[in-house]
Amino acid sequence: MTIGSSYDYPSQIARNIARTKRTAKNKWRARFPNPPDLCFDYRTLVEQESGIARATNPNHKICIIGAGVTGLTATRELYRCGFNHVTLIEQSKRIGGRHLTIPGSPNSPEGHTPFEMGAMRMPFFNRADEPPKEGRSLMAYYANEFELAISDFANPGSQWVTSTGIYLREGSVGGATLPHMLIWKNEDGQTPPPGDELQKVYAKWKAFADRMSRHISEVYASEKWETIWAAIVEKYENVSFRDLVRMPVITAWDESSPGDFGGMGMTADESAIFYAIGIGDGSWGAFYDVCSLYPMRTAIFGFSSQLQLVQGRVDSTGNPVASPHLHSEAVFDSKGLGFDRPRYIGLAALDECLLFINTDATGKSFYEHSLERIDGFLTDSSVTKLKKLDNKKIRVYYNWKTSDPEHTQEQFDDFDSVIMTLPSWLLETRITLENFNQEMLPFETINAYKTAHWETSCKVFAPLKKSFLLKNTTIPQAIVTDSFIHDVYTYRYNENYSYDCILLSYTWEDDATKLALFTDKELVKKCVKELDRILMNAANIQEKISPYIGIEQAVVHRWMTDKNALGCAKLYRPGTYYDAVSLMKYNRDYAAISGLYLCGESFSVDAGWTEPCFRGAVDAVIHICNKTEATFNGGFSMADYPEYKLRT
């Protein structure tokens, strides 16, 4: 998604919106930019001094399955509310799920220069005239709460890289006689990409994005919004992104057809270029056949605007600040099993803070609280079955010490409520659901999560010598290509770290699947060799990058073969948008009866992002609080909480 990254239309447009004083009537309404489906300001609710609510039934037993960011957020917020019998169960020996930060720079004692093998660049939904942490998002709230250091992410085509190299069709795009790498320098953030061909594609994308963004910014959070969004969904939910790119342009928005913003009107050749370089922060070809609503909401509603790199809970030199268990040689769960200790470096610091940092309401962290109970936090424990009992409780079966087959023990416990946060393919293939009838778990819900489309992703990271960004002026800092490596990012966390880092290859879907055959070492060598080939073939470069790369220290991660994930991001095909929304709606319609709460990216429509994980977690907490008649803080009531809309 490179071609539009310099154009922060959601945040720029939002800056110009007239600011109105928030009243009791609208204090819970979100502001633009923000996700479209549920126009609700979750930050206002969560950032209250005492959290979401005060539990009136603190002994309500709750099990949370999965210690990714969703499970950790639900755990922390329930504990803040005063629920004292929460059990968090994690299959692996680490927390964070698809927040996977691997310490790089092996010569550094602190393991600096982390490699973000999962999520790596965060939208804060801030406007252009405010710092990211003032954005009205849960990401902004938690980053501020935990004092996480952040910086602008070095996206291709943005002002945060010295230059972006674009090498398409073996260097023929651009019209040069010899193979050529187009160089895009965008110091002011407003410079369009080089060459007539790219600028035509850029102009068509920008015209579509402008038309839609400007209108949406005017009606978002108003009384008209739900109707407008429903009309947009009706127009585009059966349209693939591939078709949207070729769909004819409209000259103006028509009030009689409020959901119609036309298409981009690209030719076949323009579409082929757009396929390779996309709309904002990497190649979009892997998403060409998903529902057009996904890339539209990603670009128009702030998911790809002003993205941030989370450096961690660190000081200006990049060293972790004083934090719980930072210097512990090991940490242990409630049953004494060891799991990965916190390092507070990179995005993983967010997950570590959710578990280890004290809450304002209790003066303790959930981790401290869990050590006071034998069933507070369990790692290396794989949930195998949920059984609905006649007494309305749910029995949770799990294999304790699952990584050690010779000593694995099947155990179970009974709970009043269970929060499921796992990727849905894990739910389908690993966990049996027993005695949940149609009033509790309709076939439509089961079908929606079973048939969900999960995309694979492959990342190849390596240490990068400091001299590359310090001295090299020939090779662009970021490179986009239609070769199998697709996207190359080089960037720096901190000048005091021993190395910078290079994301040698970042691929999705078929582009990642085609790399599955090779071993990690083979793949690393192929990526470096291919990148050198491209650079040497480009007549205006002709310099290898391999001398700068720590090839032997490279790390590869393939999400489809990760047994704790079975995929990187859940997307939806044309015509299946309402299936995805029905999963988000489940908690309000059925959870009070079933005792089962569904949340996380599996049960969202915004794949690959952290914000829907936060929002899903808080949604589950809201509904558990409502079910147990907790006292909501800040005057909030369920009457203030909007509902997801399905097809009428």
What are 441-481's pLDDT values in tens digits? 999 999 999 999 999 999 999 999 999 999 999 999 999 99
Place 12 in a pLDDT band, splitting at 50, 70 and 90.
low
Query: What gap in Å lies between CA 285 and CA 577, rounded to an integer?
Result: 20
Residue 58: pLDDT over 80: yes
Cβ 359 vs Cβ 75: under 8 Å: no
pLDDT tens digits along 137-195: 999 999 999 999 999 999 998 899 999 999 999 999 988 899 999 999 999 888 888 98
Collapsing DSSP to helix, strand or coil, 35 comes out as coil
Quick one: the chain helix, strand, coil %, rounded to 5? 35, 20, 50
Q: Which two tokens stand for residue 82?
A: 């005063």
pLDDT tens digits along 196-224: 999 999 899 989 988 899 899 999 999 99
Contact residues for 43 (Cβ-Cβ < 8 A; gap 6+): 136, 137, 138, 140, 141
Q: Residue 110: what pLDDT?
A: 52
Cβ 608 vs Cβ 120: under 8 Å: no
Return the CATH class of domain 33-98+316-454+568-637. Answer: alpha beta
> 66-70, 163-167, 281-285 — which is least confidently predicted?
281-285
Ranges of each domain in the chain: 33-98+316-454+568-637, 159-300, 457-566
CB atoms < 10 A from the CB of 504, how many? 27
Check whether the bond before 103 is cis (ω within 30° of 0).
Answer: no
Report which residue type is found at 262: G
Query: What gap in Å lies between CA 86 and CA 76, rounded to an integer?
Result: 10
Q: Residue 282: what pLDDT?
A: 60
Q: Which two tokens stand for residue 218?
A: 């005017």
Q: Which pairing describes strands 631-632 and 53-54: parallel, antiparallel, or unpaired?
A: antiparallel
Query: What gap in Å lies between CA 173 and CA 202, rounded to an integer?
Result: 14
pTM of the model: 0.95
- The partner residues of 310 in beta bridges, in order of sequence, read 150
Cβ 69 vs Cβ 100: under 8 Å: no
> Cβ-count burial of 326 within 10 angstroms (0-12 exposed, 13-18 middle, 19+ buried)?
middle
Contact residues for 168 (Cβ-Cβ < 8 A; gap 6+): 273, 276, 277, 480, 481, 482
pLDDT tens digits along 596-627: 999 999 999 988 889 999 999 999 999 999 99
Nearest to 38 by CA among 225, 234, 257, 303: 225
- In 472-549, which ranges are continuous DSSP H helix? 509-513, 520-537
- The partner residues of 410 in beta bridges, in order of sequence, read 399
Q: Residue 1: what pLDDT?
A: 40
Query: What gap in Å lies between CA 207 and CA 213, rounded to an integer?
Result: 10
- Residue that is written with structure tokens 């720590």 in the block: 550
Place 648 in a pLDDT band, splitting at 50, 70 and 90.
low
Interaxial angle between packed helices 196-219 and 225-236, expressed in degrees from 0 to 180 and rounded to the nearest 10: 140
Cβ 619 vs Cβ 599: under 8 Å: yes
**Long-range contact pairs involving 443-451 (C-beta distance under 8 Å, separation at least 24):** 444/579, 444/582, 445/582, 445/583, 445/586, 445/590, 445/598, 447/579, 448/579, 448/580, 448/582, 448/583, 449/424, 449/583, 449/598, 449/602, 449/603, 450/424, 451/576, 451/579
Q: Residue 16: what pLDDT?
A: 55
| Residue 195 DSSP one-character state | S
pLDDT tens digits along 316-342: 999 999 999 999 999 999 999 999 999
CATH of the domain spanning 159-300, picked from 3.30.420.40, 3.40.50.720, 1.10.760.10, 1.10.405.40: 1.10.405.40
- In 169-263, which ranges are continuous DSSP H helix? 196-219, 225-236, 241-246
Q: DSSP secondary structure string, 381-420? A: EEEEEEEE-TTS-EEEEEEETTT-TTT-EEEEEEESEEEE
Q: DSSP secondary structure string, 299-346? A: HHTTTTSS-EEEEESB-TTSPBPS-TTTT-S-EE-TTS-EEPPP--BS
Return phi, psi of residue 354, to 5°: -60, -35
Cβ 384 vs Cβ 431: under 8 Å: yes
CATH of the domain spanning 457-566, picked from 3.90.660.10, 3.40.30.120, 2.40.30.160, 3.40.50.2300: 3.90.660.10
